[in-house]
Amino acid sequence: MAHDDKGKWIKGSGKYTEYRYRSESDKNYTTRQHSNLTLGENPDSFYSKWGIHAVDLAKQEGVHPATVHMRCQNYQTPFQRKAKPTLCEKLHHKTDYELGMELNLHPQSIRRKVNRYKDAYYENPRQQHPLRGKVISATDDWRTNTKRTKFWLHPLHPDYPHEARKGL
């Protein structure tokens, strides 16, 4: 999204750039004023509790540092992105977007298959269509216009399924 609003509202236009799409200079990440040794000595600091600075984790995730702190408040860990996994993530350890790229299907089709058959890889023999998986419009491809979702757990979370998500 290329807006000229610098991440702020343009009065009367109704345009706003989402935080993750702003440039690094517009995100206003604060710089640390204390060293790792100083923060490591403080038992209440984010660094001593989680082993990483909140600002550094926010930069990795492309979110505001307050988001990282809210994760700690809501889920008791900064490495959990959502309250619970989607059905796709429970069954296949992949997001619907990742399954869509793998199977060459729109993520909404993946969600429908998972909700209906409890399996994203299910193939109904009666529903073979010649245009299935083909790109019909050269200007409007779902791979470029669909929001990529992140897996509900960060790789540093203790319950992250490393073996199941190898190569993703």
DSSP 153: B
Same domain, 67 and 106: no
Same domain, 93 and 150: yes
Establish if 121 belongs to a structural domain.
Answer: yes
Domain count of the chain?
Answer: 2
- Cα 8–chain centre separation: 23
Same domain, 37 and 108: no
Same domain, 89 and 147: yes
Query: Picking from 15-29, 85-99, 106-120, which range would have the lowest pLDDT averaged per residue?
Result: 15-29
Same domain, 138 and 60: no
Q: How far apart are CA 161 and CA 155, in angstroms?
A: 8
Phi then psi for 80, rounded to 5 degrees? -110, 120
Same domain, 45 and 68: yes
Report the pLDDT value the prediction gives residue 17, as an integer from 0 to 100.
65
Same domain, 43 and 107: no
Same domain, 90 and 166: yes
58: containing domain: 31-75
Which residue among 75, 102, 136 closes a domain? 75
Pull the structure tokens for residue 84. 């619970």
Phi then psi for 153, rounded to 5 degrees? -115, 145
Q: How far apart are CA 145 and CA 23, in angstroms?
A: 20
Average pLDDT over residues 45-64: 86
**pTM, entire model:** 0.67
Q: How far apart are CA 62 and CA 46, in angstroms?
A: 18
Report the pLDDT value the prediction gives residue 69, as an integer from 0 to 100.
92
Q: Are 154 and 80 in contact (CB under 8 A)?
A: yes
Establish if 131 belongs to a structural domain.
Answer: yes
Establish if 22 belongs to a structural domain.
Answer: no
Same domain, 137 and 153: yes
Residue in 40, 42, 3, 36 with CA at minimum distance from that of residue 19? 3
**What is the average pLDDT value for the chain, to the nearest integer?**
79
